[in-house]
Amino acid sequence: MIAPNLTLRPGDTLDSYKLDALVATSGMASVFRAHDLRSGEQVAIKVPHPEVESDPTMYERFKREEEIGTRIDHPGVMKVYPNPNRTQVYMVMEWIEGRLLRQVLNEEKKVPLERTLALTKSVCEALAFLHTNGVVHRDLKPENIIVGPNDEIHLIDFGIAANAGSRRLTFAHFSQSMGTPDYISPEQVRGKRGDARSDIYALGVMLYEMLTGVVPFSGPNPFAVMNDRLLNQPVPPSKREESITPQVQEIIYRALERDPKNRYASAREMAHDLANPEEVGVVSRPEAETWETHKSPGLRRTLGLAALVLIPLTIFLVLVLVARHH
């Protein structure tokens, strides 16, 4: 039997795969660069930590990522190869040369306008394919996008992706199934199940971030960040970066609409505007003029929202404490 996955090291063999290097690790899994001893092909091997296999929620995430990666065939989505004869739980994925978009942002701070539009359009095209095939990513962020040597993109990490019609999200499963606070949509903050328009919102946040160097909403903790997007308007992106044209700013605003029905109806529609910004009609937006006067909501409203957040959080913490004493 193969040794437990935390003892795996570069140089070890896992079935027919030789592990060459550890390239990433997280609370959920370790990822190795490896090669197939049968074909010589370079691959990525994702091995869940033992506690993931014993946690039903986390294990479901791992299996969901594998199922989607095996089923979806698009150049903008990392492929997962079928591996029915493995001797333990792990995932074999295509090896992709490149950097995470997060690394690009950390190094460059701001991405030039034309390059940003091209990268975002490529993400839109991959999302359009996913959405057409009934898959919503739900955790789109720079850490889940690989940028290749020629700026080709690949979406990764479908652990909390959902098939159309899947069960709605709950507060108690926030950390596993609601996404990342900086990129989560307003409807997901309210506990609703994210759909394709939630991915468009997250992409709007990234478009804003790539061009300005900062995310549109901020706060000292995740709950403050989420409340900020429910109550306030972001600083108009053109005030942070002068190269942003009125048409590109309009694209950002359409993607960041608080109400999903006012956003782009599809990733394909957003891709068209990114490819043809000169065709985008610019509308009068009060939020672009009055954003400063709406940055400080009334104390009563703030406290009311804080109470709504703290009630389920308190119940959750109590349940955890009770469980630990049994």
Question: Looking at the annotation, which residues are catalytic?
Answer: 139
Question: Can you tell me the distance from the alpha carbon of 129 to that of 106, in angstroms, rounded to the nearest whole number?
Answer: 29
Rounded to 5°, angle at Cα 132 from 102 and 278: 65
Question: Listing from the earlier edge strand, what are the strands of the sheet with 99-100?
Answer: 99-100, 145-147, 153-155
Question: Can you tell me the distance from the alpha carbon of 215 to that of 229, in angstroms, rounded to the nearest whole number?
Answer: 11
Q: What is the pairing mode between strands 29-36 and 17-25? A: antiparallel
Q: Is 303 exposed, middle or buried (0-12, 13-18, 19+ CB in 10 A)?
A: exposed
Question: Can you tell me the distance from the alpha carbon of 161 to that of 89, in angstroms, rounded to the nearest whole number?
Answer: 20
Amino acid at 265: A
Look up residue 171 and give its DSSP letter: G
Rounded to 5°, angle at Cα 156 from 155 and 161: 95
Quick check: 211 and 233 in contact, CB under 8 A?
no
Question: Can you tell me the distance from the alpha carbon of 149 to that of 144, in angstroms, rounded to the nearest whole number?
Answer: 17
Rounded to 5°, angle at Cα 223 from 219 and 227: 75
